[in-house]
Each structure stands twice: as structure tokens, then as C-alpha cells.
A and B are shown apart, each in its own frame.
Chain A
Amino acid sequence: MTMPASAAPAVSVLALTRRFDSTIALDGISFDVAPGELFGFIGPDGAGKTTLFRILVTLLRPTAGHASVLGLDVVTGLWALRRRVGYMPGRFSLYPDLSVEENLRFFASVFGTTVEAEHEMIAPIYGQIAPFRDRRAGALSGGMKQKLALCCALVHRPDILFLDEPTTGVDAVSRREFWDLLAQLKASGLTIVVSTPYMDEADRCDRVALIQQGRLLAIDTPAAVAASFDRPLLAVRAADRHRLLRAVRAYPHANTVYPFGEALHYTDMRAHESADVVARELRAYLAREGFADAEVSPIPPTIEDSFMARMGAPEGAAA
């Protein structure tokens, strides 16, 4: 983000399409990632994230369009590129029967280097798993497996790192620690491209692309994506949440009503009415419906609000 506009992009993708038989996994997407950027793809399973990452690390060819990484075309430049990218696949892909240390040595040797030579690169992360160096990789907890996989993806000093859903299935605390590690790596100048289904991780990225059904819904800074939400958003709270949900849905002006943690997030069909007016009317309606305790207050939208507003009908829309 802080890079001068003239710097060649670390990743450049133009009209990239990938089909599997009749399924369109990626539907003509285009984006650039600047050198040194921490760039996130945010979207649910099946959005096309893994297909995109597999193309960018040369494991899959595009059906149409172009992609280059570090200035190398992902099809014609694959051998040069493979030495320079680090890739952590979404599925745990280390050897479960080898120990932590054996896995690391193996991946170093594949790239013609040693753990000792690369110590400085991996030290901050390896330090956290070193107490378990003799443990079989398969016997590690989710968070520890992810840290080991990150170490293995870094051991050949890549110029760019692709992490496909590194935090999926990992608890909230381990996820936070993992993002702290990524922030450290970014500070060292590494370009990082990461994907996640967790909307709350978007804020850890310089820029994010929202991805759904093979298309990009938005590409911008997390703050700008959240701010692009185009109508007043209200939080609605009352003690009996289930009944509140039904009552708010039945309100004639209701546009969207979604549970959001301990509140409901509400938008009004009258997009140009002010938040204060909408809040006052909704409060009056809820009072009439018997919610004496209802609180209605304007709030700033989150990435998740913005994602839902942009995604339109979900894949399970019929239900």
C-alpha cells in the first residue's frame, strides 16, 4: 500500500478464468498485489479461493486469462517461480508420521538448503514450536500444526508467501497469534497473499478482495470496503432475541435483518432516510409490539455487513 505506484506488482492477474467441466470456479477476475503488501481474499468455502491460489503457485493452469507472480508468468515461468514462492495449502500437507523437526529438515532439503542456514528466517515462528520438536506432526494441536506448516513454507526464503485458509478450524486465540506472526513477516518486507472465511480477520490486511462464486465483489482497504455499505445501519437489542428477530422482520420498512452477535443488524427499505429518523420509528414500532426494553442505535458497518450486502442471494438461497 505504501509502495510507489510505479513499483511492478508482486501479483498481476487479468481476466483469469478456470473451469472444471461445467463449473466455473473463477470467472474472469482481475487484481494486482503490490510488493510488501498483506493482501487478503475473504470468502466462504467454494468461492474459488483455493483454485486461485493453486493457479498462482503454478499447480493448476488457468482456462483463460493471465496471471503473473514476481513478474513471471504462472504457466511459462513455472520452474523459476516455484523456487521463489512459499505456499501453505489449506489442507494440512505435512507428513504426520515425521516429527516437527524432521518435517522442517525435509522441506529445507527439497529446496537445497538447511534449517541451520535459514535459521534467522524461521526463528520467530520456530521458537514457538521448538518445545515440541520431537513430537509427530500428526499429534500437534490445530494452532501448532499451522505454525509448523508456516515454517515449512518459509524455510527456502521465498519472495512471496501464499497462505490458503491458514486459520480455518483454529480457535479464536490461536488465530490471533497467527495473524501477529503474519504482521511480523510483513514487517520484514515479505509480500503475503492470504485467504480466510473469517470476516473479522479482514482488518489485519492492507487490502482485501471479497470473493464469492468465482467473482470479486470488492477490492479495497478493509476500512473502505466496510464504509462502502450504502445505507444507514442500526443495531437492535432486546432481551428476547428470537421474538425480536421475528418482530423486526415483520416491520413493513425492513430491508435486511441479520443476527450479529448479541444484536440484530437492520437496514431500512427507505435508503435515503436518516439513521436517526429510522431508529426513532423502529423504536416506536417495537414499543407497540411490546418490546419496552428495545434499544435501537446507528452503528458503523463491518466488513461482514458489506459482504452480505454485496453477495446477493447466497448459494443456499432456496432454503
Chain B
Amino acid sequence: MTGEGAGEGKPTAAPAIDARDLTRTFGAFTAVDHITFTVRAGEVFGFLGANGAGKTTAIRMLTGLLAPTSGEARVAGYDVYTQAEAIKRNIGYMSQKFSLYEDLTVRENVRLYGGIYDLSSREIRERTHRMLHRLGIEQVAGERVGAIPLGWKQKLAFSVALLHEPKIVFLDEPTGGVDPITRRQFWEMIYDAAAAGTTVFVTTHYMDEAEYCDRISIMVAGRIGAIGTPAEVKHQFGANSVDEVFVRLARSDTPGRGAA
């Protein structure tokens, strides 16, 4: 949370993500097909799309895990081809499927991630203390993560993804299966992180959550089918909800691609 360009909407602030014609093919199959978009610093950006539309491939390129076939992208100012390691140090990542080690305690998980990101012992100690206090879960610091409720786990995982104060945090379906109240508390944590200047890049299958984003994009068959604020996207399609836009775009997808 460096506060760099934090929510002030200065037109001069460098974008958190800047992708131009970003493309990735696997053999004859084009998973991501010339996508161009920017994500502003401090923005909550919803990255939507049907299963198989290319979201995961795009995220893997933006997080420095997969080299693009062609096109350009800068993430936190770093080039995805030549500075993948710098990208990894400057982003946070959390998904529903993988976030924390279930067999380690809460405190051990935090220490492990702090170590991975080269934080000093003192920094780790201080930030752990602050985090557990903020989440109100000091009493479970010594418990195995596998033994704490899912709601706590997801909030903890998000806080751990922010431990090294990344410029951008990628959240891949962070609220899947979470109860409706905790799901909403999680989104308030997202707002707080964004207000503190962290850029949030989030995927979800809950269409109501798309409405909570500053801007959204909807991927269809490897391309960006729609992009803008939720209101703009709805207006553009003459739809009452993002869900309606989503259904219309996904149905326009070429048959057969869904199996990719």
C-alpha cells in the first residue's frame, strides 16, 4: 500500500496494468486473442468471462507465470517478457482453490509468506500482529489453518496476499462457496485495500459482485467482448444487469470453444 497514484485518478498516473494485443496460442488454439486494456492504479477491476473464455491464460500471463505468444503487457510498470520476477515481487495473488497451507498454523502461514517475499523478521512480526488484530482473530493464531472456518480463512488469505504491500493483487474467485454475509465482508476488505491504493484485479462467478467493481471486462472466446464501468456496459447492451450482458455475450460464443 504505497499510496502511489492512490485513487486520486490523476490522468498522469501510470496504469497498474497495460496490455496491448496480448495473445497466447497453444498449438492451433488461440486462448487469448489480441486483448488490449488498461487497469488504473487503485481501481477495482472485475475480470469476467465464461469457463474456457481465456481468463486463466490471461491471468497467468499478467502474473508472470506464462510468456505471451505476442503482444505487450506491463504490470506494475514491469514488462511481462523480460521482468517476470519483478512482477511477481510486486503483485499479490489469492484464489479460492489455493491460498494457505492447511497443515500450517495461521502464524506459520504468515511467516512463510513473509519469508518468501523477503520481509525481515521484525516486519513479519509487526505485520502479523497488525493483521490478526485487524481481522479480530488473534485467538486462532496458533491453530492449523485447516481447522478454522472458511470465512476466516478467505479473509486471512486475502490479508496474506497483501502482506508484502503489493501494488496489485490478483483475486481468482476469492468468494466461491463463502456464506452471503462473509462474502459481503470480503468485498468491504477489497474496497479498503483499493482505498489504500492497492489495485485489485478480481474474477468471480457471482454476477452481483461484478456490480461492486469500478470497471469490468467480459472475455468471450479469447477476446474482450465488453469493457467499462458496470453502468456503461449495461447501457451499451441495453441490459438491466451485468448478468444479462454476460449471458448475451457468452451465448454469442462460437460453439465448441467452451470445451477448451
Contact = CB atoms under 8 A, between A and B. Distances in A.
B149 A311 contact: no
Given A171-B51, A171-B205, A262-B211, A307 B137 contact: no
A179 interface: no
B150 A171 contact: no
Interface stretch (A65-73, A76-84, A105-113, A134-142): A134-142
A316 B149 contact: yes
B150 A172 contact: no
A199 B175 CA distance: 13
Interface in A211-269: 212, 241-242, 245, 258-262
Given A173-B250, A314-B179, A318-B136, A261 B151 contact: no
A287 B71 CA distance: 49
Nearest to B151: A316
Interface in B1-60: 49-53
A163 to B, nearest CB: 16
A144 B205 contact: no
Contact of A131 (B51, B149, B256): B256
A168 interface: yes
Nearest to B177: A45
Contacts of B136: 318-319
A311 B137 contact: no
Given A262-B230, A315-B152, A44 B137 contact: no
Contacts of B251: 173
Contacts of B182: 44, 314-316
Among A175, A212, A261, the one with the most B-chain Cβ atoms within 10 Å of its Cβ is A261
Contacts of B53: 171
B236 to A, nearest CB: 15
Contact of A315 (B150, B230, B241, B259): B150
Among A170, A173, A245, the one with the most B-chain Cβ atoms within 10 Å of its Cβ is A173
B137 A319 contact: yes
B181 A308 contact: yes
Interface string B215-254: 0000000000000001100000000010100110011000
A65 to B, nearest CB: 24
Interface string B181-194: 11011011001000
Given A44-B177, A131-B256, A197-B176, A174 B50 contact: yes
A174 B257 CA distance: 13
Contact of A311 (B152, B181, B207): B181
B179 A315 contact: yes
A146 B228 CA distance: 32
B231 to A, nearest CB: 8
Size category, B interface: 35 or more
Nearest to A197: B177
B152 A316 contact: yes
A141 B179 contact: no
A132 B255 CA distance: 12
B187 A259 contact: yes
B259 A141 contact: yes
Given A170-B205, A262-B230, A141 B258 contact: yes
B50 A259 contact: no
A132 B180 contact: no
Given A45-B150, A261-B241, A316-B185, A169 B173 contact: yes
A194 B187 CA distance: 28
Given A135-B259, A174-B50, A261-B241, A319 B179 contact: no
A262 B209 CA distance: 9
B178 interface: yes
Contacts of A304: 180
B25 to A, nearest CB: 16
A308 B259 contact: no
B232 to A, nearest CB: 13
Interface string A168-210: 1111111110000000000000000000011100000000000
B260 interface: yes
Contacts of B250: 171-173
B205 A261 contact: no
9 closest A-B pairs by CB = A316-B151, A44-B179, A315-B149, A45-B177, A141-B52, A261-B208, A173-B250, A142-B51, A314-B181
Given A141-B260, A171-B49, 8 more contacts: A44-B179, A140-B259, A143-B51, A169-B173, A170-B205, A174-B50, A262-B230, A319-B137
19 contacts: A44-B150, A131-B256, A131-B259, A141-B52, A144-B259, A168-B176, A169-B96, A169-B205, A172-B205, A173-B247, A174-B50, A174-B51, A315-B152, A316-B155, A316-B185, A318-B135, A319-B135, A319-B151, A319-B155
